[in-house]
Chains A and B, each alone.
Chain A
Amino acid sequence: MPGLEDLYREIILDHYRNPRNRGELEVPPAHRVEGFNPLCGDEIVLYLDVDDSGTVRDIRISGQGCSISQSSASMMTSAVKGRTIDEIRDLTKAFKAMMSIHESSLEGGEGAEGTNGDAATGEIDGVPDVKLGDLEALRGVVKFPVRIKCATLAWNTLAQGLEDAAAEKA
């Protein structure tokens, strides 16, 4: 039976209590995008500064919500800052796969049970070999399906923001 320690690893609680990259950026040149979880009131406001080469130069978040949504958002910003849009896409795929959400299944919905995953490398069938680093701590969320939407909120918001940024540059 999954216990609380499966869900709330130390690192998650650390990111919850000391969230990284809080604040705002000037819009423009940054993009502002909001995301929220209609089920429970988790809220994210994301500021993304993407340079011409497609690299996330700077990123900030604000918002309120449960420990899972806020820590996932904090970890997301650390993982994403300085990366290119392509790298971020791979990272997002890998993260969502860890949350058992596959793009081939329902859009944004909880996907098939179990993945062919290798916990050490984060390598999953059909998904690029990407190091998830600290994000690994959120692996336990899968055992609490109701909280998956909390963990993926920031990532879905990020995807929206990157789309907006790409659309603008097109």
Chain B
Amino acid sequence: MAMTSTDPLDGTAVKADFPLLARQVHGKPIVYLDSAATSQKPSVVLEAMDRYYETINANVHRGVYAIAEEATNALEATRGKVRRFVNARSDAEIVFTKNATESLNLVVQSWGRANLAEGDVVVLSHMEHHANIVPWHILREQIGIELRWIPLDGHGRLDLTDLDRLLDGAKALGVTAMSNVLGTFTPVRRLTDAAHAAGAVAVIDACQSVPHAATDVQEMGADLLAFSAHKMCGPTGIGVLYGREELLDAMPPFLGGGEMIRDVTVDGFTPNDLPWKFEAGTPPIAEAIGLGAAVDYLGSLGMDKVRAHERALTEYALTSLGERFGDDLRIHGPQNAEERGGVMSFAFRDLHPHDISQVLDQHAVCVRAGHHCAKPLMKILGVGATARASFYVYNDTSDVDALGDALDAAGEFFAF
């Protein structure tokens, strides 16, 4: 079966850039369909990190000697790359964190504690990942903020009927740009406009969207935005918090220590300028360089092509698997490839996700089973867990076909 949309990327060719994808599992070529959990890494990223350690490894921002300067330049050059990648206005608006979860915790504990008081309202959605829920719950327990929730519409989209009423009097809106369970792209600009009209700050969880589509924080209207390197071909251990400079400037430090200070005495301290105010301790330098290489790699593919590739592959999956399995396969979320990315949670007959993924593993097909750190969403879907397949630049139609074959095997194994 051919793809109906044009696919500008050759997933098979891209696969060759990723060393892990050459390996076998249980004697079969690996079919990796869990990029929503973490992405595989291209050689250029791995080589960049090795090269850093082999040639210029030194602590940053403090040394006068040559390699210390080179390491600092490499780190700050990455900051510039990330700034351009998301269209921030200055490097001061790009903070390196450990990951998106830490970025969101930073927002809640720094911006949140400085700006919110008991009874203040924060609006989230039922679609959120725990990283954009639990930090707010922690704040609720600390200072007594009130949480309101944007519901879903039964088709995997946010139900915006009551949006203005929910935002009335709210101080912040926390929402995902793309669901890690349903794949749904939320209407971010509409949400941030509504938040701003209500006088609320817009905090965007962009973990799934940044790797899979071109990101423009100006266009999105994001005040604060979080994402992780490891879902976008970069290493684990580094993430980003984007924040509008005026906001970040007014926020108190999150973690304290070296690097984030200008001066320290026995009586107190003065914080450093942006963005280093929020980067305490030695940063994950090698990882930052890896992130820079990942940004370069994705740039070389072209984010518009990355999106188009996934749209085509998702369409292929929805069509071919739909035809193959009919009602036996229920894919959650919007049923078209326009409104969603290549993240597909599904139910297959009455098999439990654990059992599905166990059989799939025997066929070297890697999917995830569980609640995907979205328990409130699971409850709304009426399930304890789902199986989830997700695509990225290195997947192609043969991967989708392999998923189908493995599902057939699962069905046979558990047939009675």
CB neighbours of B385 from chain A (8 A): 40-41
CB neighbours of B384 from chain A (8 A): 40-43, 64-65
Closest to B359 in A: A4
Closest to B370 in A: A40
Closest to A18 in B: B416
Digitize B1-34: 1 where CB-to-A-CB distance is under 8 Å, 0 elsewhere.
Answer: 0000000000000000000000000110000000
Bound together, the chains give a CA A4 to CA B362 distance in angstroms of 7
CB neighbours of B27 from chain A (8 A): 1
Contact residues, A30-69 vs B (CB, 8 A): 39-43, 64-68
Query: What total of chain B residues lie within 8 Å of the partner, measured CB to CB?
Result: 19
A79 located at the interface, meaning its Cβ lies under 8 Å from any Cβ of chain B in the complex:
no
- Whole-angstrom distance between the Cβ of A147 and the nearest chain B Cβ: 7
- Asked whether A41 and B370 contact (CB < 8 A) given A65-B384, A67-B414, A150-B354, the answer is yes
- Asked whether A41 and B358 contact (CB < 8 A) given A65-B384, A66-B353, the answer is no
CB neighbours of B355 from chain A (8 A): 66-68
**Judging by beta carbons under 8 Å apart, are A41 and B371 in contact?**
yes
Interface of A is mostly: mixed
Bound together, the chains give a CA A67 to CA B369 distance in angstroms of 14
Contact residues, B357-416 vs A (CB, 8 A): 358-359, 362, 369-371, 378, 383-385, 413-414, 416
A162 located at the interface, meaning its Cβ lies under 8 Å from any Cβ of chain B in the complex:
no
Digitize A1-25: 1 where CB-to-B-CB distance is under 8 Å, 0 elsewhere.
Answer: 1011001100001000100000000
CB neighbours of A7 from chain B (8 A): 358
Bound together, the chains give a CA A64 to CA B384 distance in angstroms of 8
CB neighbours of A144 from chain B (8 A): 358
B352 located at the interface, meaning its Cβ lies under 8 Å from any Cβ of chain A in the complex:
yes
Closest to B25 in A: A1
CB neighbours of A8 from chain B (8 A): 413
Closest to A3 in B: B362
- Whole-angstrom distance between the Cβ of B262 and the nearest chain A Cβ: 44
- Asked whether A41 and B414 contact (CB < 8 A) given A4-B362, A66-B352, the answer is no
**Judging by beta carbons under 8 Å apart, are B362 and A41 in contact?**
no
Bound together, the chains give a CA A136 to CA B383 distance in angstroms of 30
Query: What total of chain A residues lie within 8 Å of the partner, measured CB to CB?
Result: 20
Bound together, the chains give a CA A13 to CA B355 distance in angstroms of 11
Among B26, B358, B378, B413, the residue within 8 A (CB) of A147 is B358
Among B354, B414, B416, the residue within 8 A (CB) of A40 is B354
Bound together, the chains give a CA A147 to CA B369 distance in angstroms of 12
Q: Among A13, A40, A42, A65, which residue has the most Cβ atoms of chain B within 10 A?
A: A40
Bound together, the chains give a CA A43 to CA B414 distance in angstroms of 20
CB neighbours of A40 from chain B (8 A): 353-354, 369-371, 384-385
Closest to A144 in B: B358
Closest to B354 in A: A66
- Whole-angstrom distance between the Cβ of A67 and the nearest chain B Cβ: 5
CB neighbours of B414 from chain A (8 A): 13, 67
- Whole-angstrom distance between the Cβ of B353 and the nearest chain A Cβ: 7
Bound together, the chains give a CA A7 to CA B416 distance in angstroms of 17
CB neighbours of A67 from chain B (8 A): 352, 354-355, 414
Bound together, the chains give a CA A43 to CA B371 distance in angstroms of 13
Bound together, the chains give a CA A123 to CA B379 distance in angstroms of 43
Bound together, the chains give a CA A40 to CA B354 distance in angstroms of 8
Bound together, the chains give a CA A134 to CA B355 distance in angstroms of 21
CB neighbours of A147 from chain B (8 A): 354, 358
Digitize A119-148: 1 where CB-to-B-CB distance is under 8 Å, 0 elsewhere.
Answer: 000000000000000000000000010010
- Asked whether A41 and B359 contact (CB < 8 A) given A17-B416, A66-B352, the answer is no
Bound together, the chains give a CA A3 to CA B359 distance in angstroms of 9
Contact residues, B311-365 vs A (CB, 8 A): 352-355, 358-359, 362
**Judging by beta carbons under 8 Å apart, are B354 and A4 in contact?**
no
- Whole-angstrom distance between the Cβ of B26 and the nearest chain A Cβ: 6
- Asked whether A41 and B383 contact (CB < 8 A) given A4-B358, A66-B354, A147-B358, the answer is yes
Closest to B413 in A: A4
Contact residues, A65-97 vs B (CB, 8 A): 65-68
Bound together, the chains give a CA A114 to CA B109 distance in angstroms of 45
CB neighbours of B359 from chain A (8 A): 4
Bound together, the chains give a CA A42 to CA B371 distance in angstroms of 11
Bound together, the chains give a CA A67 to CA B358 distance in angstroms of 11
- Whole-angstrom distance between the Cβ of B49 and the nearest chain A Cβ: 29
**Judging by beta carbons under 8 Å apart, are B416 and A65 in contact?**
no
- Whole-angstrom distance between the Cβ of A60 and the nearest chain B Cβ: 20
CB neighbours of B416 from chain A (8 A): 13, 17
CB neighbours of A65 from chain B (8 A): 352, 354, 384
Bound together, the chains give a CA A8 to CA B358 distance in angstroms of 10
Q: Among A3, A4, A41, which residue has the most Cβ atoms of chain B within 10 A?
A: A41
Besides A4-B362, A40-B354, A41-B371, 8 more A-B contacts (Cβ < 8 Å) are: A13-B414, A40-B371, A40-B385, A41-B385, A65-B384, A66-B353, A67-B355, A68-B354
10 closest residue pairs by CB, A with B: A41-B384, A66-B354, A41-B385, A66-B352, A40-B370, A40-B385, A67-B355, A66-B355, A17-B416, A4-B362
Q: List 8 A-B contacts (CB under 8 A).
A: A13-B414, A40-B370, A41-B370, A41-B371, A65-B384, A66-B352, A67-B352, A147-B354
